[in-house]
Amino acid sequence: MHHMRIASAAIILAGALAGINACSSSTAPPATGSLLLTVSGLPGAGAGAVTVTGPGGYHASVTVTTTLVALVPGTYTIAAFNVFTAGATYGLALASQVVEVTASNTAVPATVTYAVLPSGWTTSTSMPTARDYLAAGVVNGILYAVGGSWSSGSLTGFASEAYDPVTNTWTTKAAMPTARGGLAAGVVNGILYAVGGSDATGSISNVVEAYDPVTNTWTTKPAMPTARYAPAVGVVNGILYAVGGGDAGSALAVVEAYTP
């Protein structure tokens, strides 16, 4: 009888432990989260142009309403871009937004809403600093205007200003370290690179400076091998190409590539 009681107690204990373990596993919190991204406002099968970036180098391209799963908890940036579909250009009410994804079984909601843009030319808010021979680039739906030549006898080549099409407003940003006009700009991985140009004395520049909109700071980068003003700049697969331009006396055919 004594041995039977011990055996019975062992069976009861094992059952209790199994129940506890089953209960624990069924209520264990999830390690990841998800994001329900709704893309609306486009006609028929129109596809949006949306990118989602997040912790650990996460990157996803989204064209239609999608649930992104197994996301590491953290801050995710949703950047959306205009699209041309069904014979019209569709723009955005909000070009960029940030969402916080938590470890949960419930998806965090976010919406990208498109609407038809008016055709033809429209007038937007004027740039705060009048200038010519400036450069411009777009990062996450914001237009950045940098450098430039003279206005009313004053050098404006330090100027750096940002235009938000959603709010139709300009914001002054950190000044470019090297004042110059006739420069060019390109964007690589969310960083704007200001390339070449000439200074107030007419000296031709090979300076390359990089602007980070997130920190509102400029950084000096390796100079171009060839000093020049009015080059053309293009970015292909994360590489910035400086094409042509001029030196003190002639046009140039030189092409140089910079990998950040």
Model confidence pLDDT, tens digit, residues 67-122: 999 999 999 999 999 999 999 999 988 888 999 999 999 999 999 999 998 888 88
Burial of 233 per CB tally in 10 Å (0-12, 13-18, 19+):
buried
* pLDDT at residue 200 greater than cutoff 90: no
Q: What is the pLDDT of residue 8?
A: 52
Q: Which of 49-63, 133-147, 148-162 has the weakest average pLDDT?
A: 148-162
What are the start-end ranges of the H helices in the chain?
A: 2-27
User: Six-digit token pair at 131?
Assistant: 């200038």
Under 8 Å between Cβ of 184 and 166: no
* Domains along the sequence of the chain with CATH: 33-116 (2.60.40.10), 135-258 (2.120.10.80)
How many CB atoms within 10 Å of residue 56? 8
pLDDT band for 4, please (50, 70, 90 cuts): very low
User: What is the C-alpha separation between 133 and 231, in angstroms, rounded?
Assistant: 11
Give the distance from CA 93 to its chain's centroid: 17
Q: Which of 3-7, 66-70, 108-112, 188-192 has the weakest average pLDDT?
A: 3-7
User: What is the C-alpha separation between 220 and 60, in angstroms, rounded?
Assistant: 31
User: What is the C-alpha separation between 147 and 207, in angstroms, rounded?
Assistant: 12
**Whole-structure pTM value:** 0.65
* pLDDT at residue 28 greater than cutoff 90: no
Smallest CA-to-CA distance from 64 within 49, 83, 81 is with: 49
Q: For the residues 216-232, what does the mean pLDDT come to?
A: 97
Residues in the chain: 260
Q: For residue 206, what are the contacts with CB-CB under 8 A and spacing of at least 6?
A: 196, 223, 224, 225, 226, 227, 228
Selected residue with higher pLDDT from 141 and 61 = 61
Q: Would you call 92 helix, strand, or coil by DSSP?
A: strand
Smallest CA-to-CA distance from 125 within 168, 160, 161, 166 is with: 168
Residue whose token pair is 């197994």: 70
